[in-house]
Amino acid sequence: MNIGYVRVSTVEQNLERQLDGLKKHNIDKLFTEKVSAKDTNRPELKAMLEFAREGDTIYIHSFDRLARSTKDLLDIVEQLQVNGIYLVSNKENIDTNTATGKLMLTMIGAINTFERENMLERQREGIAIAVQGGKYKGRKEIDYPSNWTEIYNKYKHRELTGTKAIEQLDLKRTTFYKLIKQYEEGK
């Protein structure tokens, strides 16, 4: 079976370019998602990996659509190989069914990681310059929710799990733990 996997990082981005590139492969089953590839904890990726069977081929636009880190990419490819599933990337023109394809995959994964790390480094440098010039103030401070003290105390006394506290405070996980650290350092 020919399986397609298409991913963009945000809901605002468009899948059409990738979908158009996969048409030539006569895709039987398509998995699409609009979510970051910071890790492999993605619903459609998991569903595709569970769906694929020995002898199937998974078609993608490019390796960075499948994974951002070399480790994640190689882990996915190894899982596919163990299960007898092939991977074909349009952009890199690589088929993991061949020895050359496997070698190229390892090299491209390393280069993708290198490029991403360079981009993040340039971003940090740009922010540092903007801060020095007074043009970047950082993210806006988040105020403690009105029910913070009550929920925090319940969380600290193990009456609430972190997940429940986050729900009741209507915060993101990282914000919740950042506020805890701030609150405890301020005491």
Do 84 and 170 belong together in one domain? no
How would you list the strands of the sheet with 86-89, edge to edge?
29-34, 2-8, 57-60, 86-89, 94-95
Residue ending a domain, among 65, 86, 113, is 113
The rounded distance, in Å, linking the Cα atoms of 181 and 51 is 42
List of the chain residues with pLDDT < 70: 187
At residue 69, the pLDDT reads 82
At residue 70, the pLDDT reads 78
Q: 157 by DSSP, 3-state: which? A: coil
Do 61 and 107 belong together in one domain? yes
At residue 187, the pLDDT reads 57
At residue 112, the pLDDT reads 74
At residue 99, the pLDDT reads 85
At residue 71, the pLDDT reads 80
At residue 21, the pLDDT reads 93
* Residue 142 in domain: no
Do 15 and 83 belong together in one domain? yes
Structure tokens at 105: 């995959």
* Residue 133 in domain: no
At residue 137, the pLDDT reads 76
Do 58 and 104 belong together in one domain? yes
At residue 134, the pLDDT reads 85
Q: Which domain holds residue 152?
A: 148-186
At residue 37, the pLDDT reads 85
CATH of the domain at 53: 3.40.50.1390
At residue 141, the pLDDT reads 80
Do 156 and 82 belong together in one domain? no
* Residue 100 in domain: yes
Do 54 and 109 belong together in one domain? yes
* Residue 137 in domain: no
Do 87 and 10 belong together in one domain? yes
* Residue 139 in domain: no
Structurally, the chain folds into a number of domains equal to 2
* Residue 128 in domain: no
Do 105 and 31 belong together in one domain? yes
At residue 146, the pLDDT reads 93
Do 178 and 104 belong together in one domain? no
Average pLDDT in the chain: 89
Q: Which of 9, 36, 62, 69 is catalytic?
A: 9
Any catalytic annotation for residue 69? no
At residue 51, the pLDDT reads 95
Residue ending a domain, among 86, 113, 140, is 113
At residue 10, the pLDDT reads 85
Do 69 and 154 belong together in one domain? no
* Residue 37 in domain: yes
> What is the number of residues in the chain?
187
CA 151 to the chain's CA centroid: 31
